[in-house]
A and B are shown apart, each in its own frame.
Chain A
Amino acid sequence: MTNHWKDIKNADVILVMGANPAENHPCGFKWALEARDENGAQLVTIDPRYTRTSAVADKHLQIRPGSDIAILGGLLRHILANDLHHADYVREHTNASFIVSSDFGFADGLFSGFDEAASRYDKTSWRYEMGPDGFVRRDMTLEHPRCAFQLLKKHYERYTPAMVAQIAGCSEAKFLEMADIICSTGRADRVGTIMYAVGWTMHTTGSQIIRTGAILQLLLGNIGRPGGGINALRGHANVQGATDHAIVAGILPGYLGAPTPEQTTLRAHLDASTPKPLVEGTVNYWSNYPKFLVSLLKAWFGDHATAANEFGYQYLGKQDGDATWLSIWDEAHQGRLEGFITLGFNPLLAGPDVPRLLQSMSKLKWMAVIDPFLLDSAEFWRAPGMDPAEVDTEVMYMPTTHWIERDGSFTNSGRWTQWKEKAIDPPDGVRSDTWILSELFWRVKELYQAEGGAYNEPIQNLTWNYLNPREPTLPELAKEINGYDRATGRLLDSFAQLTADGATSSGNWIYTGSYTEAGNMMARRGTDDPTGLGMHHDWTWAWPLNRRVLYNRASADAEGRPWDPTRAGIAWNGREWIGDVPDYGRTTPPGGAGAFIMTEEGVARLFSSELADGPFSEHYEPVESPTTNPLHESVAINPVINWYDGVRETLATEGDDFPYACTVYRVVEHEHFVTANVPLLVEAMPDFFVEIPEGLAAEKGIENGGRARVWSKRGEVEGVAIVTKRIKPLLVNGRTVWTVGIPVHWGFVGATRASMANLLTPYVGDANTRCPEFKAFLVNVERAEPRST
């Protein structure tokens, strides 16, 4: 989240899209309802289904799964065609005025620089035009035909209400009713927020869907403001913390870059990772990158990290390929992965195309499953359809503590890192994750000491200074993450104190300040709120630097006056910024630098060369789609997707009979796959089901409460039919399209057992993150006979 949970109460408009917070974030969702009732806010949902969130919303728009960019692009056009944008904000705080290279272009579904053979873009033409002073050329009138604002306008001109309706399957009138609400906040005295979740992320265009949402919020002047922002609702309690600490391929803790093979020296890595300013006077905060990376190396290798050995840079592995979920399991599929350690999740149920995943797992020599529960993954060899005699994989299961059985921190969606205390003791003999991982480390280290081996040095030199080196405590780890001055041992207050000369150590620079000499900031429970906006700066601690709203400099105008004094993020009082912890120098006067200090532009990007699939977003169909792409039939799907061997053959083609759009989701009664072990929750939502629209059910002879079979080209599921009025037929490209929905919580282990939703989903991911396209694919449906039991 750019903002935080409680901040949602400050909004005038709340767009929930690609999310279902009533279902998946019920506690945080109360703030949306508070805005609705206390603030007169309009709460709207856009979703393939009318959900439990829609049930309490003011308005709902049903769309076809995978048509998100068409809808959002249509909103951008609605703003630009009707001059609904927040003009002062856009000019002041975005790159609207930046002139783009004349080499840049877009035609027939492709941006300039497309390399068809490699299925990728050469981004050379996606750049700004530079002036003689070495900085970007700008046109503050926003009239230059190649300024980002005009290019944006031109790009989304095609997303007319008629085109949106044709793609998404909604009516033009309903789309426009929704557009009028959402686009009403492009003014200083109004502000709107977006709540999104994996309903946006899990598409082959997922990153671009989110980017389109960000552009929408920038045009409306909603980023950086209380009650605004673009807010990712994270999944499990600590998904945000896991991401921050690099449980994502391609990054090191604190979103530093993982070294690549061509970065053969520390200097080369730092040069490639440290951006140069594009606008004179901009802060360009990532210029501090070397301080963060060297401090991280000091945290890992301590006295063994010196200037002479590049601070241990060579101890780091260099990523020679993609290490995302799909790629890891593709390696396994090809027989090139020997073992797999599962810690804290249930991979068999969490990934797409379970039939393929079962083949991949069967090719492992060993798998270690570390979890409080004996998971489906630990018993994959006896999954339905598997012959245990055919599986040679050795599976080791180690029970570990549940989070309720240990203290530690959760970082919530709003970046609030909240210390929690152990509630109950673990069962006898159950070990903590820290014990298991330490023991693994020590045993590997001791084996190396006894027998030697390749790449021994980093293992022997890894810092492991804990009171009990066999089981570090969580406060010890938290202090190590925070960082300290190596000469005095003093815990640091801010990442501004980090240095690139090895004098400081920090396990994750964005967490510096979370555990200081004043104590564990994450354990604070002060409820004061002098801002009156729910910022609560004494309640736990938020990264970075206890800042509650990111980019909050943009909540004020060029002179530092809040756009809306009743909802001020920060304000310049002539000497310093007051309000939230400023995302800007506390005493730097307005106009001293751009508001977006993390970009080399100093402003936010309407046009950006960061993503793999275009500087603007474009609607591409899901890889399995019931229709063509009316914008450009020849480039129907995202042209720069990575294709794994054999996957194209697992997708429905025109000749196949898979006419229905399908999407998967969760229900409030269950938390992923864990609660299949909780009797009261199984009672509350006992069975796997299939949601089928009334008209389709009638066509197929499927009765409410009867059973239905759903199959894709990859697998099939069967469950209770919930025949519903909440999913309507859609008119897409002149043809009726039905949508079917399926929840994900079931497996073949636990107190409730049924079909795995991911038997159906395709093995293909986003062009940037490779996050699988769980949310839009094709199926067929038929009536199934009642179970004989």
Chain B
Amino acid sequence: MPDTLAIKRISATPSAMIPLSSLRSSGPVYSKLVDISKCIGCKGCEVACKEWNDLKVEQTANFGSYQSHKDLSSNTWLLMRFNEVAVGDDDVDWLIKKDACLHCEDPGCLFACPAPGAIVQYQNGIVDFNQDQCIGCQYCVSGCPFDIPRFDKETKTVAKCNMCIDRVEAGLEPACVKTCPTNAIQWGLKEDMLALAEKKVETMQRRGFEHAALYNPGGVGGTHMMYVVPHGDRLEDYSLPAHPVASPMPLSGLNVLQRVGSYLLGFGVLGALGHLLAFGQESAEDSEGPGA
């Protein structure tokens, strides 16, 4: 069985800049694929996410929408966003989007994080937060081009979707995928999901959505939750940034001393983990441009 949890990058360590080459580097690379044209906004995924990850029930109040919460939170990692958009004088689109961490190939959160080991990227594509190492600085929040991580005032740590890493490690799909009644969320090897996405885009174009597109933005090296979007020319209606960017310029917000300190800490953490450090080349990853 391949090691599904081989580490690729660790925040505030040299690996953030130059990823670790795993000793067994050819493990599976996964992705979710969200087909927005098949999503009915039932929130099954939203509820399953909270159940599986044991996230606290929050007191919500209807604010004039079918949307449950105004925003993501440290206890709501997945939020169905509802957006009514007028089409001409007479028609309307009701755009419903699953909002959660996209698990970037080049994770801006990890690059920005000064706490060694607080954010870990695995070879399989998952970017996970380790609250035990989190110092609560929230640099990850500003580092994320998708505005996903949320700070918890009680625990003073930041949290977001971890792609149900415990399930994935056990060979299962994430809870949102498992629960989706219309198969709008699919899960598999990234290459398979890319092929499926191509087929889905063709289907949508046949149905008259001439701007249908895959959302797997190159500015973040591609993502491990990709969308197939019926209106690829109207990404803003789905609150999807057209050109998200993240680059491995870690700790750009810190002064030199902090940076040095972080790196020293980082080496220590790595040593403690007992991993072999190797400065190998980044494995070939998909990097389609937006809407490719």
Task: Using CB atoms and an 8 Å cutoff, list the residues of chain A in contact with chain B.
Answer: 22-23, 26-27, 29-30, 33, 36-37, 40, 50, 52-56, 58, 667-669, 679-681, 683-687, 689, 703-706, 719-726, 728
Residues of A within 8 A of B200 (CB): 37
Question: Are B181 and A725 within 8 A (Cβ)?
Answer: no
* Cβ–Cβ < 8 Å partners of A726 in chain B: 84, 92, 94
Partner of A686, one of B39, B44, B62, B64: B62
B64, A723: Cβ atoms closer than 8 Å: yes
**Alpha-carbon distance A26/B38, docked complex (angstroms):** 11
Contact of A722 among B65, B96, B208 (CB under 8 A): B65
Chain B residue at minimum C-beta to C-beta distance from A37: B203
Q: Which residues of A contact B62 (CB under 8 A)?
A: 685-687, 689, 705, 719-720, 722
User: How many residue pairs between the two chains, A and B, have CB atoms under 8 Å in the bound complex?
Assistant: 112
With A54-B94, A680-B51, A728-B90 already in contact, the answer to whether A685 and B68 are too (CB < 8 A) is yes
List 5 A-B pairs, minimum CB-CB distance, nearest first. Answer: A705-B64, A704-B64, A22-B40, A687-B62, A55-B94
**Contact between A680 and B50 (Cβ–Cβ < 8 Å)?**
yes
Given A26-B42, A50-B92, CB of A680 within 8 Å of CB of B57: yes
Q: Is B43's CB under 8 angstroms from A52's CB? A: no
Can you list 20 A-B contacts with CB-CB less than 8 angstroms, sorted by A residue number? A22-B41, A22-B42, A23-B40, A26-B42, A29-B40, A33-B182, A37-B38, A50-B94, A52-B96, A56-B37, A668-B41, A668-B43, A680-B50, A683-B60, A683-B68, A684-B43, A685-B66, A705-B62, A705-B63, A719-B62
- Tell me if B24 is interfacial: C-beta within 8 Å of chain A: no
Is B257 part of the contact surface with A, judged by Cβ < 8 Å?
Answer: no
B residues near A37, Cβ cutoff 8 Å:
37-38, 200, 203
Contacts A685-B68, A705-B63 known; list 15 others, CB within 8 Å: A33-B182, A37-B38, A52-B94, A55-B94, A58-B208, A667-B66, A669-B68, A684-B47, A687-B61, A703-B64, A704-B65, A719-B62, A722-B66, A725-B92, A726-B92
Bound: A744/B64 CA distance, A: 17
Residues of A within 8 A of B46 (CB): 684
Is B207 in the interface zone, CB < 8 Å from A? yes
Is B94 a contact partner of A684 (Cβ separation < 8 A)? no
Contacts of B38 in A (CB 8 A): 33, 37, 56
Smallest CB-CB separation from A680: which chain B residue?
B47
Q: Which of B51, B60, B84 contacts A725 (CB 8 A)?
A: B84
User: Which residue from chain B places its CB closest to the CB of A705 in the assembled complex?
Assistant: B64
Cα(A704)–Cα(B208), bound, Å: 32
**Nearest Cβ on chain A to B217's Cβ, whole angstroms:** 24
| B50 CB contacts on chain A under 8 angstroms | 680, 683
A706 to chain B, nearest CB (A): 7
A23 to B85, CA, bound (A): 20
Q: Given the interface contacts A22-B40, A37-B203, A684-B43, does A706 sit within 8 Å of B64 by beta carbon? A: yes
Interface residues in B13-48 (C-beta closer than 8 Å to A): 37-44, 46-47
- Asked if B86 CB lies within 8 Å of chain A CBs, one says yes
Which chain B residues border A685 with CB–CB below 8 Å?
43, 62, 66, 68
Assuming the contacts A722-B62, A722-B66, A728-B90, asked whether A53 and B40 have C-beta atoms less than 8 A apart, the reply is yes
Interface centre among A679, A686, A705, A726 (most CB of B within 10 A): A686
Please indicate the chain B residues that have their CB under 8 angstroms from the CB of A705 in the complex: 62-65
Interfacial chain B residues near A689, Cβ < 8 Å: 62
Q: Tell whether B153 is near chain A: CB-to-CB under 8 Å.
A: no
Taking a contact as CB atoms under 8 Å apart, the answer to whether A26 and B68 are in contact is no
The distance in angstroms between the C-alpha atoms of A722 and B94, with both chains bound, is 14
Contacts of B42 in A (CB 8 A): 22-23, 26, 52, 668-669
B65 proximity list for chain A (CB < 8 A): 704-705, 722
Task: Kindly state the separation between the CA atoms of A703 and B64 in the bound complex, as whole angstroms.
Answer: 9
Q: Mark B190-201, 1 if CB is under 8 A from A, else 0.
A: 000000000010
CB contacts under 8 Å to A, within B59-94, are: 59-66, 68, 84-86, 90, 92-94
How far does the alpha carbon of A726 sit from the alpha carbon of B82 in the complex, in Å?
Answer: 12
Inter-subunit contact B92/A720 (CB<8 Å): no
Q: Which residues of B contact A684 (CB under 8 A)?
A: 43, 46-47, 60, 68
Shortest CB distance A13–B (Å) = 14
Q: Which residues of B contact A703 (CB under 8 A)?
A: 64
Query: Which residue of the partner chain, among B57, B84, B182, contacts A679 with CB atoms under 8 Å?
Result: B57
Q: Is B258 among interface residues, defined by CB-CB distance under 8 A?
A: no
Q: In the assembled complex, how far is the CB of residue A644 from the closest CB belonging to chain B, in whole angstroms?
A: 36
A53 proximity list for chain B (CB < 8 A) = 40
A50, A55, A686: the one contacting B41 at CB < 8 Å is: A55
Of the candidates A55, A58, A723, A724, which one forms a contact with B40 in the assembled complex, judged by CB atoms under 8 Å apart?
A: A55
Distance of A781 Cα from B44 Cα, bound (Å): 33
Given contacts A55-B40, A56-B39, contact A30 B182 (CB under 8 A): yes
User: Which of chain A's residues has its CB closest to B38's CB?
Assistant: A33
Residues A669 and B84 in contact, CB atoms below 8 Å apart: no
Known A-B contacts A30-B181, A725-B84; the reply to A52 vs B58 at CB < 8 A is no
Name the A residues within 8 Å of B58 (CB-CB). 683
Q: Are A29 and B57 in contact (CB under 8 A)?
A: no
Complex contact B181–A58 (CB within 8 A): no
In the assembled complex, the Cα of A52 lies from the Cα of B58 at a distance in Å of 24
Which residue of A is nearest B91, CB measured?
Answer: A60
A27 vs B57: C-alpha distance when bound (angstroms): 25
Asked whether B40 lies within 8 Å of A56 as measured between CB atoms, the reply is yes
Q: Which residue of A lies closest to B89 (CB)?
A: A728
Q: Is B183 interfacial (CB-CB < 8 Å)? A: yes
Assembly CA distance A685 to B57 (angstroms): 12
Q: How far is the CA of A723 from the CA of B39 in the complex (A)?
A: 22
Contacts of A723 in B (CB 8 A): 64
Once the chains bind, are A26 and B44 in contact (CB under 8 Å)? Answer: yes
Kindly state the separation between the CA atoms of A685 and B44 in the bound complex, as whole angstroms. 12
Q: Would you give the shortest CB distance from B29 to chain A, in whole angstroms? A: 26
Given A50-B92, A52-B41, A686-B60 contact (CB < 8 Å): yes
Tell me the nearest residue of chain B to A22, going by C-beta.
B40
CA gap between A23 and B41 in the complex, in Å: 9
* Contact A681–B47 (Cβ < 8 Å): yes
Contact B64 A27 (CB under 8 A): no
Closest chain B residue to A751 by CB distance?
Answer: B57
Task: Name B206's contact: one of A33, A40, A706, A725 (CB within 8 Å).
Answer: A40
CA A705 – CA B61 in complex, angstroms? 10
Q: Is the CB of A686 within 8 A of B84?
A: no
State how many angstroms separate the Cβ of B220 from the closest Cβ of chain A: 28
Closest B residue to A704 using CB positions: B64
Bound form: Cα–Cα A704–B207 in Å: 33
Q: How far is the CB of B66 from chain A (nearest CB, A)?
A: 7
Chain B hits for A22, CB < 8 A? 40-42
Known: A54-B94, A725-B86. A686 touches B61 (CB 8 A): yes
- Please name all residues of chain A whose beta carbon is closer than 8 Å to the beta carbon of B60 when the two chains form the complex: 683-684, 686
Residue of A nearest to B206 (CB): A40
CA of A679 to CA of B58 in the docked complex: distance in angstroms?
9
Contacts of B183 in A (CB 8 A): 30
How far is A52 from B203 in the complex, measured between Cα atoms in Å?
Answer: 21
Query: Interface code B203-221, partner A: CB below 8 Å = 1, 0 otherwise?
Result: 1001110000000000000
The distance from the CB of B209 to the nearest CB of chain A, in whole angstroms, is 10
Which B residues lie within 8 Å of A679 (CB)?
Answer: 57
Return the chain A residue nearest B75 by Cβ: A683
Nearest CB of chain B from residue A738's CB, rounded to whole Å? 16
- What residues of B have a CB within 8 angstroms of the CB of A706 in the complex? 64
B86 CB contacts on chain A under 8 angstroms = 725
Docked Cα-Cα span, A705 to B60, in Å, equals 13
Task: Give the residue among B37, B40, B57, B207 with the most A Cβ atoms within 10 A.
Answer: B40
Give min CB distance, B185 to chain A, whole Å: 12
The CA of A286 and the CA of B21, in the complex, are separated in Å by 75
A259 to B203 alpha-carbon distance, docked (Å): 56
B37 and A722 contact, CB distance less than 8 A: no
* Chain B residue at minimum C-beta to C-beta distance from A728: B90
A689 to chain B, nearest CB (A): 5
Contact A26 B94 (CB under 8 A): no
**Residues in B147-202 with C-beta less than 8 Å from chain A:** 181-183, 200
How far, in whole Å, are A52 and B93 apart by their CA atoms in the complex?
A: 10
**Which residues of chain A come closer than 8 Å to B95, judged between CB atoms?**
55
What residues on A are CB-neighbors of B39 within 8 Å? 56
